[in-house]
Amino acid sequence: MFNKSLFVLILVIMVGSAGILILRFHLPIGPCVLGLGILPIAGLRLSGRKLSAALPDLVFGSIDTGLLAVPALAGGLAFGMVGAIVGGVIGDALTDAIAGLFEGGIAEWLRAHGYIESREMVTTALGKMAGCLLGSGFVLTIAIIFGINLQTT
């Protein structure tokens, strides 16, 4: 268990550090976050996990954090930092429920069709991390395309 936790922790530190660098160097946040989604997917493959086993977690993370970015952006644009925090906190509760419906449904469908979907530490952790990065990166990239300024000051 320690080796699994350490493996996930290393990827968490890598993604977190990359996030700090993205902000520090004023890089385009949407495409960069989208690109960071590759790290946990690579971690799944390096650890010998199948992507199909992480599919419910990938979908959960994508829907959960992708949708969460919308109220966080809206709150931030309308009410500044406090609005972004409130939009994020309330949005997280709502999107967890919505994404949980999809995650559970996909897990049931996979089992019914003979696919092995696993609720195992590394698969779940990295699947959710990848989904969150991909979903939010997509939404933030769309926001940039629509002209919303996401640059740090």
For 1-33, write each residue's pLDDT tens digit.
669 999 999 999 999 999 999 999 999 999 999
- Using the Cα atoms of residue 33, residue 34, residue 39 and residue 43 in order, give the sign of their dihedral: positive
pLDDT of residue 153: 64
Would you say residue 56 lies in a domain?
Answer: yes
Would you say residue 151 lies in a domain?
Answer: no
Give the pair of three-digit tokens for residue 146: 């629509």
Give the whole-angstrom CA distance, residue 4 versus residue 121: 7
Would you say residue 152 lies in a domain?
Answer: no
Burial class (CB in 10 A: 0-12, 13-18, 19+), 144: middle
Query: Which residue segment(s) compose the domain that 39 sits in?
Result: 2-145
Span 30-76, pLDDT tens digits: 999 999 999 999 999 999 998 888 998 999 999 999 999 999 999 99
Would you say residue 99 lies in a domain?
Answer: yes
Count: domains in the chain: 1
In this structure, which amino acid lies at residue 149?
A: N
Task: Indicate the pTM of the whole model.
Answer: 0.88
Residue owning tokens 């968490």: 12
Phi, psi values for residue 151, rounded to 5°: -75, 145
Would you say residue 150 lies in a domain?
Answer: no
Would you say residue 13 lies in a domain?
Answer: yes
Give the pair of three-digit tokens for residue 106: 């996909």
Query: Which pLDDT band, with edges at 50, 70 and 90, does 118 fall under?
Result: low
Would you say residue 112 lies in a domain?
Answer: yes
What mean pLDDT comes out for the span 85-112?
Answer: 89
Q: Are 49 and 126 in contact (CB under 8 A)?
A: yes
* Residue 91 backbone zone (phi > 0: left; psi -120 to 50: alpha; other: beta): alpha
Q: Are 130 and 58 in contact (CB under 8 A)?
A: yes
Would you say residue 102 lies in a domain?
Answer: yes
Give the pair of three-digit tokens for residue 124: 């779940």
> How many C-beta atoms surround the C-beta of residue 1 within 10 A?
6
Res 89 pLDDT > 70 = yes
Instruction: Name the percent of the chain in helix, strand, coil, to the closest 5.
Output: 85, 0, 15
